Amino acid sequence: MYHNLEECILDLEKAGQLVRVHEEVDPNLEMAAIHRRVNAAGGPALLFENVKGSKFRAVSNLFGNLERSKFIFRNTLEAAKDVIALRNDPMNLLKNPFKHFHTGWAASKALPLKKISSKRTGFQEIQISDLPLIHHWPDDGGAFITLPQVYTEDPEKPGIINSNLGMYRVQLSGNDYKMNKEMGLHYQIHRGIGVHQEKANRLGVPLKVSIFIGGPPAHTLAAIMPLPEGLSEMTFAGLLSGRNFRYCYVDGYCISLDADFVITGEVHPGETKPEGPFGDHIGYYSLIHDFPFMRVHKVFAKSNGIWPFTVVGRPPQEDTAFGELIHEITGHAVRQEIPGVKEVHAVDAAGVHPLLFVIGSERYTPYRNVKEPAEILTIANRILGTGQLSLAKYLFITAEENHPLDTHKEINFLTYILERMDLRRDIHFQTNTTIDTLDYSGTGLNTGSKVIIAAYGDQKRNLCKGVPEQLKDLCDFKNPRLVMPGIVAIEGPVFSGYQQAQKQLGELCSAIQARGTMQGCPMIILCDDSSFMSGSLQNFFWAAFTRSNPSHDIYGVNSYYENKHWACDNMIIDARVKPHHAPPLIPDPSVEKKIEGLFVKGGSLSKVKVN
């Protein structure tokens, strides 16, 4: 149980899971580059003791892997899991009251604890410019906070019980923001802060915002937890830290007394400014768009404050470990929330929201001999109407029969679906709908399409284990490569526009159809580099599903409509890079070279094994 971030850092250092970086490091690209290299090597947490331009220390990679995260929460993790399980299944408590005695004790630590004032807490008032202004990727619009705990209260029901704590991107500098006076506040759809701002706008009042940085690691994790309805983030923060969330109010703003830094301010109705670009967790830059900004009121810091940060980019990164820890804690919460669901896997390699694998149930008509998707279609629609799951773009769903399935064994799972997929029945589109804010494959910000591929029943085909003859020597379409059984990647001309693409795909489909049926290859990926696409399963997941918009980029050999339902013989996904896509993240070579000294003999990180 940690009272603050410093205690956690000392504990990790004692356990050999943290390294101190003594040399002066520039927050402009260098700190992020060091973090990425150490994180990719599975290395320790990093404490930067000499941040150029700031007197404050900074720490990263705290949650770099699941083992370290479980070590940090080793004394409270099981109790937190039990409370969440009981929140989803309260009858279990009634049936086994003595079994859950310790869970009740842990829950007693969950209620926030209000203090009279912030005096004697070690806070001093500072400016934004005093902070470590970390610039993560070369084309970022400025410095960002990447592990903020953004706190707001319901304007109609003020108080901590009706508060929201979320992790929303905060831009500290750059663009049109006035240094020390304004900050960008980027939040995506399906976020609790949006509900609070809508109410404030309707009332015609500014929304008060407090941003907490640091404090016990449990407070950071609470800001990203998908909690059951009725269990607040502030309660969970106390539960997981084993210590009540301590707070007070200053000038009408909530102050976390255990945080290392607190920034307070207001978001006024109708006020926006350009925010971004920012190198995001899908592996591309999210571009400049108008988002709310916060008028800074005051900035507080502990005298020995430590600035936590992370770096996101193409998965896997540190946020991959966040996802693993969340799954560890929430366990089967989704199964309890959505009847019939057995397993849900948001594929991290694809940037989470673009690709979702689901195992459901088929219990509607057990008396019939015909096996076809029924209940899993109901489940799929329920999933696309549930919280963050609703952001899924490609949803593959099936039900187990005869042998168990595991969505985390991705090749086995996809093989099972592709063997049973009826391409004249099992592809279901949702067009002109909302998609993830960070996904630029669609027709505009937050807009695009989705597709459900729901397959169930007897095996219909044996999947090809090599490139079919029909895909070889196709003039403008070259270098076909097997991605996995049943899926082949093939290179096409550079994408120039959808009118030209439709013509090109029409020619490709006709050429394949003229060569005869190709049952064993239900999925073809048209791409710019088939060697890259087929190089690894991670490459396939990332490139195929982040670079395609189902309604615009799915074509089919011998495709047709029947009563408005689209069908085909072989599905083709056009995953070529399009002009409207955001650019991928590429490190600055000069910065990568500059940090080499830290990893050679005599450098602080010389004992850290990196590639």
Q: What is the pLDDT of residues 496-513, one digit of tens each?
A: 999 999 999 999 999 999
CA 526 to chain centre: 26
pLDDT of residue 93: 44
pLDDT of residue 87: 61
Identify the band that residue 229 occupies on the pLDDT scale cut at 50, 70 and 90: low
Taking only the tens place, the pLDDT of each residue in 326-381 is: 888 876 667 778 889 999 999 999 999 999 999 999 998 888 888 899 999 999 99
- Cβ(567)–Cβ(429) below 8 Å: no
What's the alpha-carbon Rg for the chain, to the nearest Å?
25
Chain position carrying tokens 């923060």: 237
391: β partners: none
pLDDT of residue 367: 81
pLDDT of residue 89: 58
User: Hey, how many other C-beta atoms are within 10 angstroms of the C-beta on 376?
Assistant: 26
Provide the token pair at 133: 């202004």
The structure's pTM equals: 0.93
Identify the band that residue 228 occupies on the pLDDT scale cut at 50, 70 and 90: low
pLDDT of residue 104: 53
Q: How far apart are CA 330 and CA 73, in angstroms?
A: 14
Q: How large is the angle between the packed helices 537-546 and 410-420, nearest 10 degrees?
A: 60
SS3 assignment, position 94: helix
pLDDT of residue 86: 67
Q: How far apart are CA 381 and CA 466, in angstroms?
A: 35
User: Hey, how many other C-beta atoms are within 10 angstroms of the C-beta on 491?
Assistant: 20
CA 180 to chain centre: 29
* Mean pLDDT (whole number) for 392-397: 97
Q: What percent of the chain has pLDDT over 70?
A: 94
Taking only the tens place, the pLDDT of each residue in 398-445 is: 999 888 999 999 999 999 999 999 999 999 999 999 998 889 999 999
Domains and CATH numbers, the chain: 5-72+109-309 (2.30.110.10), 351-454 (3.40.1670.10)
Identify the band that residue 192 occupies on the pLDDT scale cut at 50, 70 and 90: confident
Taking only the tens place, the pLDDT of each residue in 86-129 is: 665 544 544 554 454 455 545 566 788 888 765 656 899 999 99
Chain position carrying tokens 């009563």: 563
CA-nearest of 412, 393, 394 to 404 is 412
Question: Is the dihedral angle over the CA atoms 264, 63, 275, 394 positive or is it negative?
Answer: negative
Provide the token pair at 131: 């902070």
Alpha helices (H) in 243-361, listed in sequence order: 318-330, 333-337
pLDDT of residue 406: 95
Taking only the tens place, the pLDDT of each residue in 533-563 is: 999 999 999 999 999 999 999 999 999 999 9
Average pLDDT taken over every residue of the chain: 92
pLDDT of residue 94: 42
Look at residue 395 and tell me whether its pLDDT is greater than 70: yes
Q: How large is the angle between the packed helices 77-88 and 233-241, nearest 10 degrees?
A: 140
Number of H helices, E strands in the chain: 18, 31
Q: What angle do CA 435, 265, 118 make, to 5 degrees?
A: 125
144: β partners: 171
DSSP code for 361: -
- Cβ(480)–Cβ(512) below 8 Å: no
User: Hey, how many other C-beta atoms are within 10 angstroms of the C-beta on 518?
Assistant: 20
* Mean pLDDT (whole number) for 465-475: 95
Q: How far apart are CA 225 and CA 230, in angstroms?
A: 13
Tell me, what amino acid is at 25? V
In Å, what is the CA distance from 450 to each residue of 108, 355, 433, 442, 563?
43, 10, 8, 10, 19
pLDDT of residue 402: 80
